[in-house]
Chains A and B, each alone.
Chain A
Amino acid sequence: MNFLGRIAAAPGGGAGLAILGLLALAAFSAHAFFPGDPLRIAGPALVPPFSSGDFPLGTDRLGRDVLACLMHGAGISLLVGIAAAAAAILLGVAVGAVSGFAGGFIDECLMRVVETFQIVPGFLLALAFASVFGASLPVIILAIALAAWAEPARLTRAEVLSIREQDYVASARALGMHPLEIAFKEILPNALAPVLALAALMVAGAILTEAALSFLGLGDPNVVTWGSMIAEGRNVIRSAPWLSILPGLALMLTVLGVYLFSEGLSHALRARP
Chain B
Amino acid sequence: MPLHLTRRLLLQSTAATLALAAMGAKTAAAAGGGRLIVAADSEPKNLNPAIVASNGVFFIASKVIEPLAEASFTGKDGLEPRLATDWEGSADGLSATFRLREGVTWHDGKPFTSADVAFSALNLWKPLQNLGRIVFANLADVETPDAATAIFRFSKPTPFQMIRNALPVVTSVVPKHLFEGTDIAANPANNRLVGTGPFKFAEYRPGEYYRLERNAGYWSEDQPALNEIVYRVLPDRAGAATALEAEEIHLAAFSAVPLADLDRISKVPGLQVVTKGYEALTYQLIVEINHRRKELADVRVRRAIAHAIDRDFVVRTIFLGHAQAATGPVPQNATEFYTPDVPAYAFDVAKANALLDEAGYPRDANGTRFTLKLLAAPYFSETRQFGDYLRQALAKIGIDAGLASNDSAAHQKAVYTDHAFDLAVAPPVFRGDPAISTTILVQSGLPAGVPFSNQGGYANAELDGVIAKAAETVDEKARIALYNEFQRLVAEDLPLINVAEWGFTTVTRDTVANVGSNPRWAVSNWADLAVTE
Binding site for B on A (CB under 8 A): 37, 39-41, 45-46, 61-63, 131-132, 134-136, 217-222, 234-240
| CA of A236 to CA of B237, assembled, Å | 11
Q: A134-B404, A136-B404, A220-B405 are in contact. Are A235 and B260 (CB under 8 A)?
A: yes
The answer to whether B387 and A221 touch across the interface, beta carbons within 8 angstroms, is yes
List residues of chain B with CB within 8 A of the CB of A240.
Answer: 260
The answer to whether B384 and A221 touch across the interface, beta carbons within 8 angstroms, is yes
List residues of chain B with CB within 8 A of the CB of A41.
Answer: 313, 389, 392
The answer to whether A134 and B405 touch across the interface, beta carbons within 8 angstroms, is yes
List residues of chain B with CB within 8 A of the CB of A63.
Answer: 317
Interface residues of B in 357-399 (CB under 8 A from A): 376, 378, 381, 384-385, 387-389, 391-392, 395
The answer to whether A239 and B264 touch across the interface, beta carbons within 8 angstroms, is yes
| CA of A219 to CA of B265, assembled, Å | 29
The answer to whether A236 and B261 touch across the interface, beta carbons within 8 angstroms, is yes
In the assembled complex, how far is the CB of residue A179 from the closest CB belonging to chain B, in whole angstroms?
47
Interface residues of B in 109-157 (CB under 8 A from A): none
Name the one of B245, B313, B405, B410 contacting A221, with C-beta atoms under 8 angstroms. B405
The answer to whether A40 and B392 touch across the interface, beta carbons within 8 angstroms, is yes
The answer to whether B403 and A61 touch across the interface, beta carbons within 8 angstroms, is no
The answer to whether A62 and B317 touch across the interface, beta carbons within 8 angstroms, is yes
The answer to whether B392 and A131 touch across the interface, beta carbons within 8 angstroms, is no
**CB pairs A–B below 8 angstroms (8 shown):** A37-B392, A39-B392, A61-B385, A219-B405, A221-B403, A222-B402, A236-B261, A238-B242
In the assembled complex, how far is the CB of residue B387 from the closest CB belonging to chain A, in whole angstroms?
7
List residues of chain B with CB within 8 A of the CB of A39.
Answer: 388, 391-392
Q: A37-B395, A131-B407 are in contact. Are A236 and B388 (CB under 8 A)?
A: no
The answer to whether A235 and B381 touch across the interface, beta carbons within 8 angstroms, is yes
In the assembled complex, how far is the CB of residue B4 from the closest CB belonging to chain A, in whole angstroms?
40
Task: Find the B residue at minimum CB distance from A223.
Answer: B403
> Is B346 positioned at the interface, with any CB of A under 8 Å from its CB?
no
| CA of A234 to CA of B258, assembled, Å | 10
Name the one of A40, A45, A62, A235 contacting B261, with C-beta atoms under 8 angstroms. A235
The answer to whether B238 and A237 touch across the interface, beta carbons within 8 angstroms, is yes
The majority secondary structure among interface residues of chain A is loop
List residues of chain B with CB within 8 A of the CB of A236.
Answer: 258, 260-261
Name the one of A40, A61, A134, A234 contacting B406, with C-beta atoms under 8 angstroms. A134
If A61-B385, A221-B403, A238-B242 are given as contacts, then 20 extra A-B residue pairs at C-beta distance below 8 Å, sorted by A number, are A40-B392, A45-B317, A62-B317, A62-B318, A131-B407, A131-B410, A132-B410, A134-B404, A134-B406, A217-B407, A218-B405, A221-B405, A222-B391, A235-B237, A235-B238, A237-B238, A238-B241, A238-B261, A239-B261, A240-B260
List residues of chain B with CB within 8 A of the CB of A132.
Answer: 410
The answer to whether B405 and A62 touch across the interface, beta carbons within 8 angstroms, is no
In the assembled complex, how far is the CB of residue B39 from the closest CB belonging to chain A, in whole angstroms?
15
| CA of A135 to CA of B391, assembled, Å | 17
List residues of chain B with CB within 8 A of the CB of A135.
Answer: 405
In the assembled complex, how far is the CB of residue B61 from the closest CB belonging to chain A, in whole angstroms?
28
List residues of chain B with CB within 8 A of the CB of A218.
Answer: 405
Task: Find the B residue at minimum CB distance from A234.
Answer: B238
List residues of chain A with CB within 8 A of the CB of B404.
Answer: 134, 136, 221
> Is B263 positioned at the interface, with any CB of A under 8 Å from its CB?
yes
List residues of chain B with CB within 8 A of the CB of A62.
Answer: 317-318, 385, 388-389
List residues of chain A with CB within 8 A of the CB of B403.
Answer: 221-222
List residues of chain A with CB within 8 A of the CB of B261.
Answer: 235-236, 238-239
| CA of A31 to CA of B227, assembled, Å | 61
| CA of A55 to CA of B352, assembled, Å | 30
The answer to whether B263 and A239 touch across the interface, beta carbons within 8 angstroms, is yes
List residues of chain B with CB within 8 A of the CB of A234.
Answer: 238
| CA of A239 to CA of B264, assembled, Å | 6
| CA of A13 to CA of B269, assembled, Å | 50
Interface residues of B in 219-257 (CB under 8 A from A): 237-238, 241-242, 245
The answer to whether A217 and B392 touch across the interface, beta carbons within 8 angstroms, is no
| CA of A45 to CA of B385, assembled, Å | 13
| CA of A62 to CA of B388, assembled, Å | 9
In the assembled complex, how far is the CB of residue B520 from the closest CB belonging to chain A, in whole angstroms?
26
| CA of A222 to CA of B387, assembled, Å | 10
| CA of A221 to CA of B317, assembled, Å | 19
List residues of chain B with CB within 8 A of the CB of A45.
Answer: 317
| CA of A37 to CA of B366, assembled, Å | 14
In the assembled complex, how far is the CB of residue A67 from the closest CB belonging to chain B, in whole angstroms?
18
In the assembled complex, how far is the CB of residue B27 from the closest CB belonging to chain A, in whole angstroms?
34
List residues of chain A with CB within 8 A of the CB of B407.
Answer: 131, 217
The answer to whether A238 and B264 touch across the interface, beta carbons within 8 angstroms, is yes
Name the one of A219, A220, A221, A239 contacting B260, with C-beta atoms under 8 angstroms. A239
The 8 A-B residue pairs with the shortest CB-CB distance, nearest first, are A235-B258, A239-B264, A221-B403, A135-B405, A236-B260, A221-B405, A131-B407, A234-B238
Name, among B263, B387, B405, the residue most crowded by chain A CB atoms within 10 Å (CB to CB).
B405
List residues of chain B with CB within 8 A of the CB of A61.
Answer: 260, 317, 385
List residues of chain A with CB within 8 A of the CB of B402.
Answer: 222
Task: Find the B residue at minimum CB distance from A136.
Answer: B405
In the assembled complex, how far is the CB of residue A34 from the closest CB belonging to chain B, in whole angstroms?
14
List residues of chain B with CB within 8 A of the CB of A238.
Answer: 241-242, 245, 261, 264-265
In the assembled complex, how far is the CB of residue A63 from the closest CB belonging to chain B, in whole angstroms?
7
List residues of chain A with CB within 8 A of the CB of B392.
Answer: 37, 39-41
Interface residues of B in 312-358 (CB under 8 A from A): 313, 317-318
In the assembled complex, how far is the CB of residue A159 from the closest CB belonging to chain B, in whole angstroms?
39
List residues of chain B with CB within 8 A of the CB of A222.
Answer: 391, 402-403
List residues of chain B with CB within 8 A of the CB of A131.
Answer: 407, 410
List residues of chain A with CB within 8 A of the CB of B385.
Answer: 61-62
